[in-house]
Amino acid sequence: MGDLKPGWLRVEVTPHAPERVREMEDILRGQRLHTVCQSARCPNLPTCWGAGTATFLLLGEVCTRACRFCSVATGWPGGKVDPEEPARVVKAAKTLGLSYIVLTSVDRDDLPDGGAGQFAAAIHALRRELPEAAVEALIPDFSGSRAALSRVVEAGPQVVGHNLETVRRLTPRVRDPRAGYDLSLSVLRTLKELAPGLVTKSSLLLGLGEAEEEIEEALLDLRTAGVDIVVLGQYLRPTPAQHPVSRYVPPEEFRHWEARARELGFRGVVAAPLARTSFRAAQVFSSLR
């Protein structure tokens, strides 16, 4: 498919967004922090940063995995972890006046716990310094380690997300071999086992070549795993090096899947061409209360 995108894939930017984006850049640069907004080339960066929200990317910008839909740099960080990073996340969150904070990370297979300790440290710091704020942790699979998942859950986030990303058939084609459809589902099930009251979340990218019945299967599998919030968005090829877009899914199909997901019992649903896992995260979480 060519690079010509349909008209509905248009990012809405408020008049003050450029000024706010520059302010956000200065704050994040000053605290030496990364965001998934930048590293993954998220199309919603002007919208989210214009509103003063961002998803903090822990543990650096180098991922040990190489999923074919993602533009984050791949490499082997060699076990390096910045112990001061959680404190800097707190400072940035305070400066930005955030009441809902999303943390995510690259995959860190070079670490014994996959990076779970850094998530826990950041969550503990945020809960201590910003007790009124809600914290969402969008985690990697930690190779399925129950101990690592437990460490994150015990830190006390209000929401923990882990992305299924795509349907079963396409998983080997677009995700790193160390990831897996069943592995991701087991992570989501384990989170609920560890903390039945925890809000869990996952997302699917559409337009990678999936069929309708495969989307249905994935939604059913997520619901069976106890997932509370599901996000469906259009896959956009970050650079020519990534997996090509199979099709651009029109807004009416996203509305169909939103209605279907609600029928299946998901408590929160975001389904739109430009939706991503942390898009409108605070609003969706508030709607569950």
Does a structural domain hold residue 5? Answer: no
Does a structural domain hold residue 79? Answer: yes
Does a structural domain hold residue 160? Answer: yes
User: What distance in Å separates the CA atoms of residue 257 and residue 215, rounded to the nearest whole number?
Assistant: 9
Q: CA 88, 91, 94: angle at the middle one, nearest 5?
A: 150
Residue type, 161: G
**Residue 70, SS3 per DSSP:** coil
Does a structural domain hold residue 11? Answer: no
Q: Is the pLDDT of residue 63 over 90?
A: yes
Average pLDDT for residues 122-147, to the nearest whole number?
96
Do residues 92 and 28 touch, judged by C-beta distance below 8 A? yes
What confidence tens digit (pLDDT) does each residue in 73-129 have? 999 999 999 999 999 999 988 988 888 899 999 999 999 999 999 999 999 999 999
CATH of residue 70: 3.20.20.70
Tell me which residue of 65, 42, 58, 60 sits closest to 102, measured CA to CA: 58
pLDDT at 271: 96
What confidence tens digit (pLDDT) does each residue in 211-268 have? 999 999 999 999 999 999 999 999 999 889 999 999 999 999 999 999 999 999 999 9
pLDDT at 40: 45
CB atoms within 10 A of CB 131: 7
Residue with tokens 């605070």: 282
E strand or H helix at 89, and its extent? helix 85-96
pLDDT at 289: 76
Do residues 278 and 104 touch, judged by C-beta distance below 8 A? yes
pLDDT at 39: 45
Percentages helix, strand, coil for the chain (3-state, rounded to 5) are 40, 15, 45
CB atoms within 10 A of CB 160: 26
Which is higher by pLDDT, 11 or 159? 159
Q: What is the largest CA-CA distance in the chain?
A: 49
pLDDT at 157: 97
pLDDT at 15: 52
Does a structural domain hold residue 3? Answer: no
Does a structural domain hold residue 2? Answer: no
E strand or H helix at 255, and its extent? helix 251-263
What confidence tens digit (pLDDT) does each residue in 172-218 have? 999 999 999 999 999 999 999 999 999 999 999 999 999 999 999 99
Q: Is the pLDDT of residue 50 over 60?
A: no
Indicate the number of domains in the chain.
Answer: 1
Does a structural domain hold residue 147? Answer: yes
How many CA atoms, within 13 angstroms, populate the side-chain half-sphere of residue 127?
16
pTM: 0.90
CA dist 287 → 24, 280, 284 (Å): 27, 11, 5
Does a structural domain hold residue 6? Answer: no
Torsion sign over Cα 94, 98, 101, 107? negative
User: What distance in Å separates the CA atoms of residue 44 and residue 277, rounded to the nearest whole number?
Assistant: 11
If pLDDT is split at 50, 70 and 90, which confidence band does 64 have?
Answer: very high
Residue 25: left if φ>0, alpha if ψ -120 to 50, beta else—which one?
Answer: alpha
Which residue range forms the structural domain that includes residue 248? 17-287
What's the full length of the chain, in residues?
Answer: 289
